[in-house]
Amino acid sequence: MSAPFQRHRLTPWILMAPQLGIVLVFFFWPALQAIEQAFYVEDAFGLSREFAGFANFQAVLSDKAYYQALGTTLIFSLAVALGAMSIALLLAVMADRVIRGARIYRTLLVWPYAVAPAVAGVLWLFLFDPTLGLISGLLGNIGIGWDHKLNGVQALALVIMASVWKQMSYNFVFFLAALQALPKSLLEAAAIDRAGPWRRFWTITFPLLSPTAFFLLVMNSVYAFFETFGTIDTVTSGGPGGATTTLVYKVYQDGFVGQDMGASAAQSVLLMALVGGLTWFQFRYLERKVQY
Amino acid sequence: MATLRLNGIRKRYPNGITALHDIDLDVVDGELIVVVGPSGCGKSTLLRTLAGLEAISDGELTINGRRVNELEPAERDIAMVFQNYALYPHMSVAGNMGYALKNRGMPKDEIRRRVAATAELLGLSELLERRPRQLSGGQRQRVAMGRAIVREPQVFLFDEPLSNLDAKLRVQMRLEIRRLQKRLGVTSVYVTHDQVEAMTLADRLVVMNAGRVEQCGTPMALYEQPATLFVASFLGSPAMNFLPVTVHRDGVVLPNGTQLALALPVAMPEGRVTNLGVRPEHLVEAASRPDTAAVLDVTVEMLEPLGADMLAYTRLSGLEEWLVVRLDGAHAAHEGQRLSLTFSLADCHVFDADGRRVSMTEGAAAKAQACQ
């Protein structure tokens, strides 16, 4: 016998239809198109196309620039995820201890998340502009020449900083919520059990935050892979010399600037597979360690 | 082995609320002190100031004669069992029990040996590898106890440790705690709101109300000689009956005008309003005491058969509250029945208008307040 509500077979579908429609039209359809496109070579005007088998993939995988972009992406993603998470955790721990004016601090710390990626990029661009920038000027005063338009390492550092700054707020909100949900009595018990503040943090607080940290690691990886496009585009446009060209930026460059639709589609299929594999790996191996 | 001395302990919060007013208490070595009171009376705050989780605003706290006011919880050598157990969810039972020892830098073998010995004592040996979420409520409670015991601290603090257990387990664990505490001989302070738990566990009982100690002494002393109306009404289940009476030339007068020929233990001026307290078990049928002069005519409104006893909730005209009577379990009372009740003067407690006992000798009154 089924419960009465289960008899309404149609209602759940009607309720889900708008969301399903959006996902189908804006996610699955383009994704399938990209996969299809990856197997064709198209002329620059999009007037004709020819089935090419795995030729697009072969071309991409034998291109040195692709491996450079892969390397850049891995360094960039790791730095962004770790940077954004550790700074956010530090800020959350400090904000959690604040009693007076706590809400003001929290609001201020959440603000960067409301800034559009391109705007964030422009802010950092101005701060570090080789000729006009405030911070580059200060760095020049202490003898560090800053020119991210010529120096690839500095350019990468700059987009990492901008991306970390932007993502930090998101992580902060989650870490703070997790910290405030920790039962106070656990930390009190640990204090009585002769654990000092430092030990309490590493043996009690940190392990108990690990489910949150895992969730954020997945979200930050996805963010670093895909959503930093706007920041990179405004700050460095992938340069100098491809030093800040991440995989997703290369997809855009080859496809929309270079008009090589086939190669671009092949890259995005590879990127999808890469992120899918990474997420699977995280769930398979890391999530086990964070259960308690 | 430790003695604990509280000297004028006061706790004031920054918002001006005073949670504890000048608490004085001496706990001798190996004693189990139970602090009992209604919620919000300050008993948990008191325990937390002993633990060092709350700062002491005024007064002095010493353990073995050493002032510990300024010491961190870790430096006081105390162990605490929390109401929600506060077990570390990401550690095994063994990890939970060994945590404090590990923090102390004890060698691994020694930790393992002591954890195993404590687990044996509490019947937890089979569960050492489990996580807290895989344990039942009673087992968790035991682990929390084990975590305190394994450290061999100077003082045990218990913060309502049984209130999350079901009734049957609570009785069982109550006995267990009593047995362990006697066996280990560790000085303990136990906080509860359950007066039965308090009566059964305590060497000495401290009754608190609104941040003050109302009375302190052995459970039976408090039961038999409550120093205040509050203590009298708090201890005992069902609670003591109170009759508001007016002192009269030949005894007292009830609100309904009935005159009782009672010689009050202390001479009081005529017309003074006092409270006469009589416990339910001390009210008996007048027929069994032909010589009595104090007879209360009541009507039975409700009956609660408990097996061995029968509680009768009766109505005395002119009195707002029920008069509760503990009858024999086999009593043939029925609802609506009229009963004539009496009590002996020796069993009644007289309290003046501000709630103080008037029938108490001066020496006993001083002793009740001092908590020493």
Q: What is the pLDDT of residues B77-123, one digit of tens each?
A: 899 999 989 999 999 999 999 999 998 889 999 999 999 999 988 88
Closest Cβ opposite residue A185 in set B52, B84, B147? B84
- Classify residue A13 by its DSSP letter: H
pLDDT value at residue B361: 54
Phi, psi of B172 (to 5 degrees): -65, -45
CB contact under 8 A, B88 and A199: no
**Chain B contact for A203 (CB, 8 A cutoff):** yes
How many angstroms separate the CA atoms of B149 and A81, rounded? 43
Closest Cβ opposite residue A188 in set B53, B88, B147? B53
**Chain B contact for A99 (CB, 8 A cutoff):** no
Mean pLDDT of chain A: 84
Which residues of chain B does A192 touch, with a Cβ-Cβ cutoff of 8 Å? 51-53, 73-74, 78-80, 100
CB-based contact B159:B79 (threshold 8 Å): no
* Percent of chain B residues past pLDDT 90, beyond the cut: 38
pLDDT at A240 over 90: no
CB contact under 8 A, A192 and B84: no
What does the DSSP assignment read for B180-237?
A: HHHHHT-EEEEEES-HHHHHHH-SEEEEEETTEEEEEE-HHHHHHS-SBHHHHHHSSS
What pTM value is reported for the model? 0.79
**Chain A contact for B130 (CB, 8 A cutoff):** no
Cα of B103 to nearest chain A Cα, Å: 6
Identify the band that residue A158 occupies on the pLDDT scale cut at 50, 70 and 90.
confident
Residue A77 CB partners (closer than 8 Å, separation 6+): A221, A224, A225, A246
pLDDT at A53 over 90: no
CB contact under 8 A, B99 and A190: yes
Closest Cβ opposite residue A192 in set B80, B104, B131? B80
* B347 vs B292, more confident: B347
Amino acid type, A227? E
Identify the band that residue A1 occupies on the pLDDT scale cut at 50, 70 and 90.
very low
Closest Cβ opposite residue B90 in set A195, A196, A292? A292
**Chain A contact for B86 (CB, 8 A cutoff):** yes
Question: Of B296, B274, B270, B293, which Cα lies nearest the Cα of B285?
Answer: B296
CB contact under 8 A, B99 and A193: yes
Question: E strand or H helix at B246, and its extent?
Answer: strand B241-248
Nearest chain B alpha carbon to A184: B86
- What's the first-to-final CA gap in chain A, in angstroms? 37
How many angstroms separate the CA atoms of A80 and A74, rounded? 10
Looking at chain A, list the stretches that DSSP marks H as alpha helix, in order from N- to C-terminal side: 10-23, 29-37, 55-61, 64-97, 102-110, 117-127, 134-141, 152-181, 184-192, 197-200, 206-222, 229-235, 247-252, 261-281, 287-289
Identify the band that residue A3 occupies on the pLDDT scale cut at 50, 70 and 90.
low
pLDDT at B370 over 80: no
Nearest chain A alpha carbon to B134: A292
Nearest chain B alpha carbon to A200: B103
How many angstroms separate the CA atoms of B327 and B336, rounded? 15
- Mean pLDDT of all residues in B56-83: 90
CB-based contact B12:B57 (threshold 8 Å): yes
Which residues of chain A does B151 touch, with a Cβ-Cβ cutoff of 8 Å? 193
What 3-state class would DSSP assign to B267?
Answer: coil
* Percent of chain B residues past pLDDT 70, beyond the cut: 96
CATH number for the region A56-289 comes to: 1.10.3720.10
Nearest chain B alpha carbon to A208: B90
Number of helices and strands in chain B (H, E): 9, 20
Which residues of chain A does B100 touch, with a Cβ-Cβ cutoff of 8 Å? 192-194
C-alpha neighbours within 13 Å on the C-beta side of residue A28 = 7
**Chain B contact for A204 (CB, 8 A cutoff):** yes
* Percent of chain A residues past pLDDT 70, beyond the cut: 95
Task: Give the pLDDT confidence of A162-191 residue by residue, as tens digits.
Answer: 889 888 888 998 998 899 888 888 999 999
Which residues of chain A does B80 touch, with a Cβ-Cβ cutoff of 8 Å? 188-189, 192
